[in-house]
């Protein structure tokens, strides 16, 4: 079973989607790095549109910097385009915006470490747009700029649609900050790894050893038989989300009053996979990755 809380290592905080003056962001790459370091981040990826922004020669302020790019192209059901984030670019990348979504993913996998789909809800992506694509490891379950800009930052149901049909996908939390308004230092990905070094962080993300958040902290998840223990920062609601019809449960059924910091749920047989959502008093949320209990 995938559970980063059951393995050795430390937790590191990062943002994997960010724009600078390398594309349509309002701050320089150095200013972006300095600001994220000042907010306590351990790693950061600059993912400008259509180019891998140079990060060598900049002061990384003690953070691990991961080169990346946001690629757009293909055609969706509603005549929009896809946005794909390629993480760990191995050099400059240039692609043709006439390429299909699958060609963008394939190109990303050849020229970077892995690819995830950016902001599906903001792009109005449907299940039909994503179900046949192969080779991406996940999607942005939370995107700050899409939340603050248009109120569509949480792509949980898009993720569940794919999980329900057997896709093994992870959910990233990102800012997609452009610094045009207060869209930085909110959505993040917490990665469990031995060290905050390039190979460790990339391998941990590829293995799904992380969770997403825009506020709450998940401190422990443990499954024992049909019991699921969740420990987190004080939350007003905790959900055990299962993408299958009618499955899942929440703290509303427990009879207890919030705040919750430790809850044990009983999981009905056949409720698989599950993922945990922890929601605090003001509606901020943390999203675990899916756990396939039968494995």
Q: Give 50's contacts (C-beta < 8 A, 6+ positions apart).
A: 23, 69, 70, 71, 72, 94, 95, 97
Which one of 48, 140, 175, 176 is in contact with Zn ion (CB under 5 A)? Answer: 176
Helix locations, the chain, DSSP H: 29-38, 101-111, 127-130, 144-150, 156-164, 198-207
CB atoms within 10 A of CB 61: 15
Contact flags string 77-106 toward Zn ion, x per CB under 5 A: ------x-----------------------
The least distance separating Zn ion from the CB of residue 178, rounded to whole angstroms, comes to: 7
Number of chain residues interacting with Zn ion (CB under 5 A): 4
Tokens of 181: 């308004």
Q: Are 182 and 148 in contact (CB under 8 A)?
A: yes
- Nearer Cβ to Zn ion (178/285): 178
- Nearer Cβ to Zn ion (83/167): 83
- Nearer Cβ to Zn ion (114/260): 114
Nearest-CA neighbor of 117 among 135, 144, 99, 92? 135
Which one of 32, 33, 118, 201 is in contact with Zn ion (CB under 5 A)? Answer: 118
- Nearer Cβ to Zn ion (76/250): 76
Contact flags string 51-70 toward Zn ion, x per CB under 5 A: -------------------x
- Give the residue nearest to Zn ion (CB): 83
Nearest-CA neighbor of 231 among 239, 222, 241, 240? 222
The least distance separating Zn ion from the CB of residue 136, rounded to whole angstroms, comes to: 14
Which residues make up the interface to Zn ion (CB under 5 A)? 70, 83, 118, 176
């Amino acid at each position: 079973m995938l559970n980063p809380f059951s393995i050795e290592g430390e937790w590191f905080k990062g943002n994997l989607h960010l724009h600078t003056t390398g594309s349509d962001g309002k701050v320089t790459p150095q200013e972006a790095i300095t600001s994220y370091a000042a907010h306590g981040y351990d790693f950061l990826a600059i993912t400008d549109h259509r180019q891998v922004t140079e990060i060598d020669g900049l002061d990384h302020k003690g953070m691990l910097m991961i080169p990346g790019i946001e690629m757009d192209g293909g055609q969706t059901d509603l005549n929009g385009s896809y946005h794909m984030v390629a993480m760990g670019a191995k050099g400059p990348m240039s692609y043709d915006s006439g390429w299909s979504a699958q060609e963008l993913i394939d190109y990303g996998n050849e020229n970077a470490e892995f690819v995830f789909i950016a902001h599906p809800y903001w792009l109005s992506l449907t299940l039909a747009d994503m179900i046949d694509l192969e080779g991406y490891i996940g999607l942005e379950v939370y995107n700050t700029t899409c939340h603050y800009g248009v109120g569509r930052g949480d792509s949980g149901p898009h993720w569940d649609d794919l999980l329900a049909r057997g896709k093994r996908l992870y959910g990233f939390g990102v800012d997609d900050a452009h610094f045009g308004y207060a869209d930085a230092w909110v959505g993040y990905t917490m990665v469990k790894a031995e060290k905050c070094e390039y190979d460790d962080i990339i391998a941990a993300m590829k293995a799904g050893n992380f969770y997403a958040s825009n506020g709450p902290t998940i401190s422990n998840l443990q499954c024992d038989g049909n019991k699921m223990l969740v420990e987190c920062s004080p939350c007003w609601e905790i959900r055990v989300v299962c993408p299958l019809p009618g499955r899942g449960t929440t703290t509303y059924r427990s009879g207890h009053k919030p705040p919750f910091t430790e809850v044990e749920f009983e999981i009905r047989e056949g409720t698989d996979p599950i993922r945990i959502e922890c929601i605090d008093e003001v509606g901020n949320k943390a999203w675990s990755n899916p756990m396939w209990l039968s494995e």
